[in-house]
Structure 1
Amino acid sequence: MSFTEMKELTKKNQEFIHIATNHLIQAGKSDAEIKELLEEIIPVILEKQKTGVTARSIYGAPSEWAASKTASPAESDQQPLNENPWLMWLDSSLLLLAIIGLVNGAMNSFGVGANYGIITLLLIGFGVGAGMYMMYHFVYRDQVKTGKRPSLLKALGFLVLATLAWSFVFFLAALIPSSINPTVTPTVAIILGAVAFGSRHLLKKKYNIRNAMQPMP
Structure 2
Amino acid sequence: MSFTEMKELTKKNQEFIHIATNQLIKAGKTDAEIKELLEEILPVILENQKAGVTARSLYGAPSDWAASKTTRSEEADKPELNENPWLMWLDSSLLLLAIIGVVNGAMNSFGAGVNYGLITMLLIGFGVGAGMYMMYHFVYRDQVKTGKRPSFVKAIGFLVLATLAWSLVFLLAALIPSSINPVVSPFFAILIGAAAFGIRYLLKKKYNIRNAMQPMP
Q: Scaled by the length of structure 2, what TM-score is found?
A: 0.67
Q: Shift of the alpha carbon at 1:71?
A: 5.1
Deviations 1:122-147, CA, capped at 9 Å, x for gaps: 00000000000000000000000000
Residue number in structure 2 paired with 1:163: 163
Instruction: Give the aligned partner of residue 134 of structure 1.
Output: 134
Root-mean-square deviation (Å):
1.7
Give the AA of the match of 1:83. Answer: E
Residue in 1 aligned with 2:111? 111
CA deviation after TM superposition for structure 1 residue 149, in Å: 0.2
Shift of 1:72: 3.6
Amino acid at match of 1:173: A
Structure 1 residue 70: deviation in Å? Answer: 8.6
Query: How far does the alpha carbon of each residue in 1:6-43 deviate from its partner, in whole angstroms, 9 at most, with x for none?
Result: xxxxxxxxxxxxxxxxxxxxxxxxxxx9xxxxxxxxxx
Q: Secondary structure at the match of 1:179?
A: helix
Q: Deviations over 1:101-157 (max 9, x none)?
A: 000000000011110000000000000000000000000000000000000000000
**Aligned letter for 1:128?**
V
Q: Which residue of 1 aligns with 2:98?
A: 98
d(CA) in 2 for partners of 1:174, 1:161: 20
Cα distance in 1, alignment partners of residues 101 and 72 from structure 2? 40
Residue segments in structure 2 that go unaligned for 5+ positions in a row: 1-40, 42-68
Q: Give matches, 1:1-217, under 5 Å.
A: 72-217=72-217
Amino acid at match of 1:154: K
Cα distance in 2 for residues equivalent to 1:192 and 1:215: 26
Letter in 2 for 1:199: I
Q: Secondary structure at the match of 2:161?
A: helix
Give the count of matched residue pairs. Answer: 151
SS in 2 for 1:211: coil
| TM superposition shift of 1:74 | 3.7
| SS across alignment from 1:199 | helix
Identity of aligned residues (%): 81
Q: Which moved more, 1:69-78 or 1:138-147?
A: 69-78
State how far apart, in whole Å, the 1-side matches of 2:70 and 2:135 are. 30
Q: Distance in 2 between matches of 1:212 and 1:160?
A: 18
Whole-angstrom CA distance in 1 between matches of 2:201 and 2:79? 17
Instruction: Give SS of 2:195's match.
Output: helix
Q: What SS does the aligned partner of 2:106 have?
A: helix
| Structure 2 Cα separation of the partners of residues 216 and 134 of structure 1 | 15
Larger Rg: 2
